[in-house]
Structure 1
Amino acid sequence: MRLTLESIRWVELSEEIRCLLEKPYKILPLSPGLEAEVVKIECADHSYVLKIWNKDSKPNIRNQYELLSRLCESGIQVSKPYGWGMDVDSNQVLLTSYDGEPIAKLIKTKLEQLAQMLIQVHGYDINGMSNADANFIPQYDFVGYFFPSIELHEDMHQILTNLLQRTEFRHDYLIHGDYNLGNILESDDQYAIIDWTNGQRGDPRYDIAWSIFLMTIYTGERNGKMYSALFKSLSEYTPDDAEIFEAMACLRWILLKRVSNVPMGPGVMQRVKKIIGSNSYLNDELL
């Protein structure tokens, strides 16, 4: 059956969209994600994105809708949620604003904006909420969530255990969980953070480290150094934090590489090897 907005069983839907449903609209395919199909809805002079979780991943979209709603209200730059529900095959769907394309060209001012946006996410006050009010922001076991089955990889498991013993891991901040250029959209110098599937209570130092690691290996060492320096100047991310948490980020990428496919490209492995060589907690044998 062809996907239509009318065929979706909406649990929540804004009045604006209900009115638009009475007008003709187009559905255009966008590049699918690893977890979901993504389409663009064009109606009158408005555009929206509909994400359909029709693959193996089944996140809690009610929570994601609530989180996006709260973040929008607080002024954090995220897609505006308009509705969520189920398609005819009982796959969860989420309708949000259309916020442009992934960032194509990096310059220092954009890196500054990206760092500030993630710091703003970490500044969202979840500690002032009652437990009942904040139950849409989950908390997971860090190792189990980000390093599934790492105990089967003894070399990495020992290093990760050592790293966790050297720091007091936190769960009292909102983190995005996968802040990278593919999850930040740009349109007319406006930005939006998308894909909050991994949004949870966690440690901002890990969130920052994962973002810096991905920036470094996929866009180059120069961008990575600038990006890292920005976090150290704009937040409480210290050089000691950096070495510990960037070692964790590197371990996570290596684990993903061992068990599945990770994006590759020119120079990626050389940059990963350089990160390993400059980090006292890591060793070349991991690769």
Structure 2
Amino acid sequence: MGNPIGIVDWVEKDGIMDDLLNQEAILTTHPMDQGFEAEVMKICSDKDIFVLKVWNKNSKPDVSLQYRLLNVLFERGLSVSKPMGWGINPHGEKVLLTTFDGMPVLEVDEKKMTVIANILSEIHKVHVKEIGNIHLLKSDFIDYFFPGVGEYYDINNALISLVQITQIKQERIIHGDFHLRNILEKNNRYTVIDWTNGQLGDPRYDFAWSLILIKIYVSERYAYVFRSAYLLENHVQQKDLEAFEALACLRWILLNRSGGTPKGPNIIERVKSLITKNPFLKEFEFTI
């Protein structure tokens, strides 16, 4: 199909991009698993493999911000893909080219869960002053993470109650959707991808969202390992953790109603169990 990146008007690019643009005859493309927001494809040269992400769906993120944020985090040695360039294709769609860093983590053990927890911890330790002139989004918590929640009285009622007693702080970099499918594994190295939701936020929520997803889709056992490893480096009071886990549960319920959550055996039962055990949610009634 010729050079799949040659048709892009590159706004910012790495020096390696010029070499790729001259390799029209030897670049091949291979489709990858698609997300809800963008089309993703693997691009192979005779020496390297890259990933091209095309936002051709409803989501319209600030791709230039993602490119610059990834640059800063990569240069700081954090576990992120190296960004090669961003631009606009002939259809007016924004695209981002990064290194290819493996496949999503499909199987876990205690060692992996500990490493992954430490990666999240390192992300949360980066202070906004360390990223220079990059102006990260500081969004309204409810509007961003709970869009359309007003249509659901049960979720909205519990959400408002929780937000009123939880002091949400927006002073650290958060990923916004840190889960196993957004963590790639290659040669025992792990890389965090999909920074569409990267912003200034509360690390306690970012951690709680990850923890809840592990409890729902993996197991309580590995959630405990993940939790223990993270809390060794980050102090979170038990009451705060329970409150943010409650918020994460509410977000999952909201996403589930719109069909935005993976399905599987015993998933609903696990969620109901989490609600029953959480002191901030057990008195509410939800339709899941």
TM-score bracket for this pair, using the shorter chain length: over 0.9
Give the aligned CA root-mean-square deviation in angstroms: 1.6
Q: In structure 1, what is the Cα distance between the partners aligned to 2:209 and 2:241?
A: 10
- Contact 2:69 2:134 (8 Å CA) reproduced: no
- Contact 1:184 1:194 (8 Å CA) reproduced: yes
Q: In structure 1, what is the Cα distance between the partners aligned to 2:162 and 2:141?
A: 13
Amino acid at match of 2:9: R
Give aligned pairs, total.
284
1:265 aligns with 2:280: no
Identify the residue that residue 17 of structure 2 maps to in structure 1.
Answer: 17
- Contact 2:184 2:193 (8 Å CA) reproduced: yes
Aligned partner of 2:111 among 109, 112, 130: 109
Q: Deviations over 1:59-106 (max 9, x none)?
A: 110000011001011111100000010111010000000000011220
Q: In structure 1, what is the Cα distance between the partners aligned to 2:256 and 2:33?
A: 22
Identify the residue that residue 5 of structure 2 maps to in structure 1.
Answer: 5
Q: In structure 2, what is the Cα distance between the partners aligned to 1:17 and 1:237?
A: 43
Identify the residue that residue 51 of structure 1 maps to in structure 2.
Answer: 53
Identify the residue that residue 83 of structure 1 maps to in structure 2.
Answer: 85
Identify the residue that residue 66 of structure 1 maps to in structure 2.
Answer: 68
Unpaired runs of 5+ in structure 1? none
Identify the residue that residue 206 of structure 2 maps to in structure 1.
Answer: 207
- Contact 1:127 1:172 (8 Å CA) reproduced: no
Deviation, 1:129, is: 5.9
- Contact 2:11 2:87 (8 Å CA) reproduced: yes
Partner SS for 1:286:
coil
Amino acid at match of 1:226: V
Q: In structure 1, what is the Cα distance between the partners aligned to 2:85 and 2:75?
A: 15
Q: In structure 2, what is the Cα distance between the partners aligned to 1:221 and 1:231?
A: 15
Q: Deviations over 1:103-153 (max 9, x none)?
A: 1220111111111111111111204566xx131x11100000001122222
* 68-77 vs 159-168, greater mean Cα deviation: 159-168
Deviation, 1:226, is: 1.9
- Contact 2:88 2:95 (8 Å CA) reproduced: yes
* 33-42 vs 119-128, greater mean Cα deviation: 119-128
Q: Give the share of equivalent positions with the same residue, in percent.
A: 40
Partner SS for 1:156:
helix
Written as runs of structure 1 = structure 2, the 5 A alignment for 1:154-193 is 154-193=153-192
- Contact 1:221 1:271 (8 Å CA) reproduced: no
Identify the residue that residue 196 of structure 1 maps to in structure 2.
Answer: 195
Unpaired runs of 5+ in structure 2? none
- Contact 2:5 2:21 (8 Å CA) reproduced: yes
Q: Deviations over 1:11-43 (max 9, x none)?
A: 112221211222221111111111111111111
TM-score by length of 2: 0.94
Identify the residue that residue 94 of structure 2 maps to in structure 1.
Answer: 92
Amino acid at match of 2:154: D
- Contact 2:72 2:131 (8 Å CA) reproduced: no
- Contact 2:127 2:171 (8 Å CA) reproduced: no
Amino acid at match of 2:225: M
Q: In structure 1, what is the Cα distance between the partners aligned to 2:39 and 2:146?
A: 25
Deviation, 1:210, is: 0.2
Partner SS for 1:285:
coil
Amino acid at match of 2:197: N
